[in-house]
Structure 1
Amino acid sequence: MARNVTSGAGGGPGSGTVAAVPERLLAEATRLFAERGYDRTSVQEIVEAAGVTKGALYHYFGSKDDLLHEIYGRVLRLQTERLDAIAARTTGVSERLAEAAADVVVTSIQNLDDTKIFFRSMHQLSPAKQKEVRAERRRYHETFRSLVEEGQRDGHFRPELRPDLVVDYFFGSVHHLGTWFHADGPLSAEAVAAEFSDLLLHSVRRP
């Protein structure tokens, strides 16, 4: 399992330099995995690109698949924190679902290399890490689904819909972003998010 890479021990002088090592490793691993693929990138190539030793990598991450796990894990943690905050608000459920839908699109696009790498290479993680990631993603999807269920209970959303299928359908589109979205294309992340959010709300609202 990856070590805590958020700060140096004690936070004293030089702790910023310590914190930069795992950040460099993650940045270079992300770049190399995106360019060459996870299985065609060696640990030696990662540490050379980051300007550190293999010992430093194993100190912070333990293994190459720890790097892969953390590349996606940091995105999922960000999205989970943001979704939890949105779901806890006292605004109407339609507004919260729209905001949650737009947020996951924007954050996925902002971290597109991370998500593309992960979905392309997840099967190469150890079984234990695959199980851990699925549990983390399931928790996120359950929170998202709870907004659909709340809207159904309150009479805002169509009662005949299956919330689990609504979530699967929506996130199937989100996970597909990496196959067609380009930063230099005609649509911004915010424009795509607004379209996705609008499509979701129109599909679940009662006529």
Structure 2
Amino acid sequence: MATPKRRKAAGTYQAHRERQRRRILDAASQLFDERGIDRVTMADITSESGVQASTIYQYFSSKDDIVWAIVGELMGERGNLAGAAMKDAPNALARITILLGLMAEDLSQNPEKVRFMAQFDAMYARNWPVERLLALESQIHPEPFQFFRKLIKDGIADGSLRPDLDPDLTMHAVMNAVIGAQRRLASLGSKVEAEYGRPIDQLLRESIRILLLGIRGDTAQARSSKRKSTAKSKTRKRSSS
């Protein structure tokens, strides 16, 4: 059985390793944003992080592994934020609105992270198999596709979403549309603002607003369905009494 002194030493060593790992990832993230992922080498990351090359290779076997580690962290952070924010939303449309709103906040508050994901998309398309991304997504959320499917089905049932939506397709289409716009706007930044005369955050929020209008249910119909459901419930209670 480990003594308190040994446990303390082990904890100190683990904390040291985590700090070193953090230095490597932070240095790589900065370089990727400044120069582009393709133009950064492991030697560059070694120099920027101040961690010896032999030590870096104890954590990551290649630059690709560093890229994927950053992707995993970003996806995990955003998944946790979305889960917490959507928890108390009153209906499916409200949950979707919150989810897309967080993506707009990311564009305005963390554009460098969105730019990184745009670069990752291009490299993923060229260099990596879809199975690697699916494996990473499953670690963060065991059944992301089922979550999206349930979200649309719940929205149809509660009246907040249109009844003709396809549960297996709608959220994938919406997410790809917003992700595509978000990452393009982050990559082009001030050039888009100069071209259109509007902040990139405002452009994305308007895109999201229009998409939400396209999927929302008839609010009058939703209220009518709720009234009918309430009336049926009261009738059943009177019948059973």
Instruction: Give the TM-score range, shorter chain.
Output: 0.7 to 0.9
Query: Which position in structure 2 is the counterpart of 1:119?
Result: 121
Structure 1 position 154, deviation (Å): 1.7
Which residue of 2 is the match for residue 91 of structure 1?
A: 90
Distance change in 2, residues 1:90/1:127 (3 Å): closer
Q: Is 1:173 aligned to 2:163, yes or no?
A: no
- What's the RMSD between the two structures over aligned residues? 3.2
Contact 1:30–1:113 (Cα < 8 Å) also in 2: no
1-structure distance, mates of 2:214, 2:120 = 29
Q: Which sits farther off after the overlay, 20-29 or 86-95?
A: 86-95
For residue 132 of structure 2, the aligned residue among 125, 129, 133 is 129
Q: Do 1:87 and 1:147's aligned partners in 2 also have CA atoms closer than 8 Å?
A: no
SS at match of 2:76: helix
The code of the aligned residue for 2:24 comes to L
% same residue: 22
Relative to 1, partners in 2 of residues 1:94 and 1:14: Cα closer, same or farther, differing over 3 Å?
A: closer
Tell me the equivalent position of 1:200.
211
Shift of 1:80: 1.3
Q: Secondary structure at the match of 1:52?
A: coil
Deviation at 1:14, TM superposition (A): 9.9
Separation in 1, partners of 2:141, 2:119: 16
Q: Which has the higher helix share?
A: 2
Unaligned runs of 5+ in 1: 1-8
Alignment deviations for residues 137-180 of structure 1 (CA, whole Å, 9 cap, x no partner)? 88445434432221112222111111333223222223222223
1:65-84 map, 5 Å = 65-84=64-83
Partner AA of 1:175 in structure 2: I
- Counterparts of 2:141 and 2:35 in 1: how far apart (Å)? 26
CA gap 1:44/1:76 in 2 versus in 1, 3 angstroms: same
Partner residue of 1:164 out of 164, 168, 184: 168
Cα shift readout 1:88-126 (whole Å, capped 9, x = no counterpart): 325233222211111133235522132122112124346
3-state DSSP class of the match of 2:169? helix
Q: Tell me, what secondary structure is at the counterpart of 1:89?
A: coil
Matched, 1:187 2:199: yes
AA aligned opposite 1:118: F
- What residue number does 2:6 align with? none
Does residue 153 (structure 1) correspond to residue 157 (structure 2)? The answer is yes
Name the counterpart of 2:62.
Answer: 63
Tell me the secondary structure at the aligned position of residue 180 of structure 1: helix
Q: Distance in 2 between matches of 1:12 and 1:183?
A: 45
* TM-score, with length taken from structure 1: 0.76
Deviates more, 1:17-26 or 1:114-123: 17-26
Q: Distance in 1 between matches of 2:22 and 2:208?
A: 32
Whose RCO is larger (CA < 8 A, sep 6+)? Answer: 1
Query: Please, what TM-score do these two structures have when normalized by structure 2?
Result: 0.67
